[in-house]
Amino acid sequence: MYEPHAGEHGDHDHQEEGAFCSTCEGDFTSTAKATSIWRNKDFYILLITGPLLATGLVFQWLLGWELSAFLLFLATTIIAGASIAKAGITALVLRRRLTISFLMTVAAIGSFLIGAAGEGAAVIFLFFLAEFLEHQAGERAGRSIAGLLKLAPDVATIKRNGEEAEVHVHDVQIGDIILIHPGDKIPLDGVVSTGGSSVNQAPITGESLPAAKQEGDEVFAGTINNEGFLEVRVTKLSSETVLSKIVRMVEAAQRLKSPTEKFIDRFAKYYTPAVILLALAVAIIPPFLLGWDLYQWVYRALTLLVTACPCALALSVPIAMVSGITNAARNGVLIKGSRYMEELSDIRIMAMDKTGTLTQGHLVVTDVLANGCSHEELLEKAASLEAYSEHPIAQAILEKAQQQGITPHAVEEFRALPGKGVMGRFNGETIYVGNERLFTELTTQIPEQQVTRLEREGKTVVIVGDASTIIGLIAIRDEIRPTAARTITELQTHGIRPVMLTGDNQETAEAIATQLGIDEVHAELLPQDKVALIDRLTREHDQVAMIGDGVNDAPALAKADVGIAMGAVGSDVAIETADIALMQDDLSKLSFLIRISKKTMGIVKQNVIAALLIKLSLAVLVFPGLVSLWLAVALGDMGLSLAVILNAMRLSLVNTKTKDATP
């Protein structure tokens, strides 16, 4: 069936392409070219050999036509077994590896030699069928990745020299203008230059609601324009779009093995030769040393070979991992390898950056407290000075002034006071805007009660005044994300302790933490302090994950056992530096990520335990002659392999909304 082929590693066994079976040193990847079942020659081999085997059994059992039955069994074995034997012998001769294909070849030949031709043919046919089903499951995962690629159209309509033309996306250059009509898929990443619409970004971010787009907003390849006409200036070539990077990352993730997969690989490498030696002992010792029946013990040795075939065991881990990774990708969560899926399931500490992760990362004015002047006058003075600053706090004050129709005025002698605030002359009066430290140095009486109250509410307080008098307070806060509290609760339900990390002041950090139910807070941290803290948490708790914005927190993300970048869509740094990327600014995806990691590892454990228990039980029953070749291959190989495949496929039911979608 899966014939040896020349690849980057030379000629190798069938199970190295899109393979499940680590005994053949294969990786379960999506590199195998997915084909229609009607174009698969193995499907037609099954259509031929199935009736041949069934007819042979009828001839043998019902009609007693032994010779005719033998010829049909032989035809079945040759047609279905040619590629199996070729793969097994090639692996043995060229690589000196004992593979499952070789085990099955020996079992079939041995069955014919002892007169059990029907069972030998059944061994080959059912093994062929099992491998066919495994390969189809592999192609199903491959089609998940291929489906991502197909999200973006191959052709784009561009505007050049005032004329429209359809060109292949590979021929579109950065700076070209592409035209997107209502209902069209967007072919390339870019920025809206003309028009407005809503865009369905679910294929990239997993978000259910369309995102509003207007001039200056980013759009991404593979997303769908809903109702408006857009002209988009291309910012990335087809090979560098967010979608293409996601596909490459998922494909690479399938090749990065988890510790459990590596253990199964090492185990299988020694397991197969051990099985062959045990089978030889069963075939030789009882008849030749103890004088027992030769036919019976050779038959039992062959049955043991088939029973102990490690296919299902080797399948148990990678197919579950890939199912989990591809499901996560469809839901806007990019996991870069099964290693991180496994490590995440054991996480006990989740370090969480505050700004931009637990909060929305956008400061807004919440309180304007004037003293001796109107609110409008207070905002006018503060906004006039802050108009010269690029600080996020300044931008929040300017936005508030704009909302209230207040226009900043020119300021003379403006000066920035690093770490403290700003100062300047407004209408001939020297005005200061800054923090407590600034006004303490000015020996100005600070309204401590009001400042403390606001800070306890998680707000940053900006003081406005002159050299002797405070004329008002402006409170600013980065609003907590709507899903943050629920996400924290779900993490705690899973036995994960959240820890807040922030560069903000202690009072503000503690106020936010209290609202969210976080009991461990580390505030006023510089980037290097966060790295040191992650290092300490890792030493104390073994498994630590961190979630941050993927840019400012990159060193700390790299230090954690699992680094999770939030809002990675459009961010090359976030996608490339983190182990896991949440493609949109939706903290609830973190809950989904934890659920799918634990569900995946739960299914891996179920598969491994089931494979070991069933195979061990059948192997024990072989010795008293209670297991036939038929039962060994139907239950111990094909049936068990199919069971672990179907069990792993349940991971496709895990979604972002339900806690557990297990039927």
In the structure encoding, which two tokens stand for residue 262, read together? Answer: 């590596």
Contact (CB, 8 A) for 331 and 208: no
353 is a catalytic site residue: yes
Three-state secondary structure along 281-346? HHHHHHHHHCCCCHHHHHHHHHHHHHHCCCHHHHHHCHHHHHHHHHHHHHCCEEECCHHHHHHHHC
Contact (CB, 8 A) for 133 and 642: yes
Among 13, 42, 189, 353, the one annotated catalytic: 353
Angle at 348 between CA 344 and CA 354, to 5 degrees: 90
Residues 6+ apart with CB under 8 A from 150: none
DSSP 59-82: IIIII--HHHHHHHHHHHHHHHHH
Return the SS3 of 116: coil
Sheet hosting strand 333-335, strand order edge to edge: 333-335, 580-582, 562-566, 544-548, 349-353, 497-501, 520-522
Conformational region of residue 270, where left means phi above 0, alpha means psi within -120 to 50, and beta covers everything else: alpha
Contact (CB, 8 A) for 46 and 131: no
Return the SS3 of 580: strand
Q: Provide the Cα torsion 265, 269, 274, 276; round to 10°.
A: 110
C-alpha 605/C-alpha 476 separation (Å) is: 49
Q: Which residues are catalytic?
A: 353
